[in-house]
Amino acid sequence: MTRPAYGLLIDGAETAAADGRTFTSFDPATGEPVADFARGGAADVDAAVAAARRAYDREWRDTTPTARGRLLLDVARRLRADATALAAAETRDCGKPLAQARADVELAARYFEFFGGAAPALHGEQLPVGPGVVDFTVREPHGVCGQINAWNFPLNMASRSLAAALAAGNTAVLKTPELAPHTTALLGRIVTAAGFPPGVVNLVHGDGAEAGAALSRHPGLGLLTFTGSVGTGRAVAAAAAAAVTPCVLELGGKSPTLVFPDADLDVAADQLARGFVEATGQSCDLPSLAVVHADVHDAFVARVAARAAAFSVGPGAADPDVGPLISQGQRDRVERHVATAVRAGATVALGGGRPAAPGTSAGWFVEPTVLTGLGPDAAAAREEIFGPVLTVVPFTGEDEAVAIANGTGHGLAAYVWTRDLGRGVRLTRRVAAGQVYVNCFGSGDSVLTPFGGTGLSGYGREKGFEALRTYTQVKNICISAS
């Protein structure tokens, strides 16, 4: 079977890279090639930003929010119509278990639906300055939005950032993640088929150091949104700062779960076990650090380990609980972290190696792993591992629990498990994170709720109505009444 091939999407048409280069993506479960892509460089980024600017000036900024919303709603419909094929492509491209890929496609459709519906609701406010003037604010788009995404939720993330940017009246140039560009390329075809004017959405496939770096330093951007690691985020923000481009950084996390003795330990253990292996542990806000009261530590670890031990591991297409990691490099990194932890005195309460399950010999698999016996300063308790590895650290008092939770430097999500309502409320204030959950591992509707970090996890907010504020800037207008 011939492999599918995708050009860069620039000005409404798929084109080869200016220098003709291409690259191939691979199935992490088998190592087999999946699809070929034009490999964009600085010249292609220039062409894409110029096309996006033309589309913005020519028509998009003056399109009514209702008309923009209708196009977005049509993308949602098309995503749902293609859901089976898109989920299969996502699974092959980034290894995700099929059920998780299906859920991601539905979430992608919901982003287009939500932002399509919300577009006309964004408005400024009137300010009571005095009888001599009429003063009000309007929210205007930034212009061309550069977007650089990670590979762990490719379609989902492209949808959340594109839908919000377009709804707010921006045009976009998106640099797809080179390890998993397939479903974003398919989204590009859906956007074109839905009838978006040429140049409103542009996709550049290619390497971070080349296409990504060219986009982040481009002087033609009105806003840059970046999702990825802390190290790359620093470089991207520095490049954007040189062009005085405002930035949104959605970076990594080491999201703590604080477990108190009065919590419903069964429910907490069950949800925590599911949580730390989601997307094979390659999700920025998943609960990868458990901070557990010493009185229940051993019993709680036993429950989590027992649940995670029952998870199936295998190729995403077989719809297991846990799929492969994205690449050999990522598996090496996870294995290095586990080895370092063991050298530092960790007890491996579960896993720690490669699975022997059928279908796992060729790809980048690791077992769900639970590490105990480490202090809060150990690397495995502070650093993002980005694999299915849970580190459990004991505490005895609330202040100590907060210090451990806040001591990683990250601040994306935090989870608190207690039946004491007062303690739950207190901790929502004391724990430093962009989102704090009490007795749950998510709101159940991540499209509606704002999302972003503090500290090393970045700044700015995506998702929910807050994203429409992110993707617009305020202009104050004052008109004399005389």
- Per-residue binder mask for ligand NAD (CB under 6 A), 264-303, x = binder: --------------------x-------------------
Select 141 or 252, whichever has its Cβ closest to ligand NAD: 252
Which of 193, 209, 310, 339 binds ligand NAD (CB under 6 A)? It is 209
- Indicate whether 154 belongs to the interface with ligand NAD (CB under 6 A): no
Which of 34, 145, 150, 432 binds ligand NAD (CB under 6 A)? It is 150
- Other beta carbons within 10 Å of 479: 8
User: Can you tell me which residue has the tokens 């709101």?
Assistant: 443
Which of 44, 82, 90, 250 binds ligand NAD (CB under 6 A)? It is 250
Give the active site residue among 210, 278, 284, 367: 284
Scanning residues 230 to 249, which ones bind ligand NAD (CB under 6 A)?
232, 235-236
Task: Give a three-class secondary structure readout of the chain.
Answer: CCCCEECEEECCEEECCCCCCEEEEECCCCCCEEEEEECCCHHHHHHHHHHHHHHHHHCHHHCCHHHHHHHHHHHHHHHHHCHHHHHHHHHHHHCCCHHHHHHHHHHHHHHHHHHHHHHHHCCCCEECCCCCEEEEEEEEECCEEEEECCCCCHHHHHHHHHHHHHHCCCEEEEECCCCCCHHHHHHHHHHHHCCCCCCCEEEECCCHHHHHHHHHCCCCCCEEEEECCHHHHHHHHHHHHHCCCCEEEECCCCEEEEECCCCCHHHHHHHHHHHHCHHHHCCCCCEEEEEEECCCHHHHHHHHHHHHHCCCECCHHHCCCECCCCCHHHHHHHHHHHHHHHHCCCEEEECCCCCCCCCCCCCCCCCCEEEECCCCCCHHHHCCCCCCEEEEEEECCHHHHHHHHHCCCCCCEEEEECCCHHHHHHHHHHCCCCEEEECCCCCCCCCCCCECCCHHHEECCECHHHHHHHCEEEEEEEEECC
Select 73 or 334, whichever has its Cβ closest to ligand NAD: 334
Active site residue 384: no
Active site residue 284: yes
Stretch that binds ligand NAD, among 229-237, 240-248, 305-313, 424-432 (CB under 6 A): 229-237
Which of 213, 272, 402, 413 binds ligand NAD (CB under 6 A)? It is 213
Size of the site for ligand NAD (CB under 6 A): 28
Select 7 or 228, whichever has its Cβ closest to ligand NAD: 228
Stretch that binds ligand NAD, among 97-105, 150-158, 185-193, 389-397 (CB under 6 A): 150-158
Stretch that binds ligand NAD, among 4-12, 208-216, 299-307, 348-356 (CB under 6 A): 208-216
- Per-residue binder mask for ligand NAD (CB under 6 A), 109-148, x = binder: ---------------------------------------x
Residue 107 CB, nearest distance to ligand NAD (Å)? Answer: 13
Residue 209 CB, nearest distance to ligand NAD (Å)? Answer: 5
User: Can you tell me which residue has the tokens 């050009």?
Assistant: 7
Give the active site residue among 90, 113, 178, 250: 250
- Indicate whether 384 belongs to the interface with ligand NAD (CB under 6 A): yes
Which of 192, 229, 347, 439 binds ligand NAD (CB under 6 A)? It is 229
For residue 133, the Cα-to-chain-centroid distance in whole angstroms is 44
- Per-residue binder mask for ligand NAD (CB under 6 A), 13-52, x = binder: ----------------------------------------
5-6 sheet: strands from edge to edge: 5-6, 33-38, 22-26
- Per-residue binder mask for ligand NAD (CB under 6 A), 386-405, x = binder: x-------------------
Select 93 or 384, whichever has its Cβ closest to ligand NAD: 384
Residue 385 CB, nearest distance to ligand NAD (Å)? Answer: 10
Residues that bind ligand NAD (CB under 6 A): 148-152, 175, 177-178, 208-209, 212-213, 216, 227-229, 232, 235-236, 250-253, 284, 384, 386, 412, 453
Catalytic site residues?
250, 284
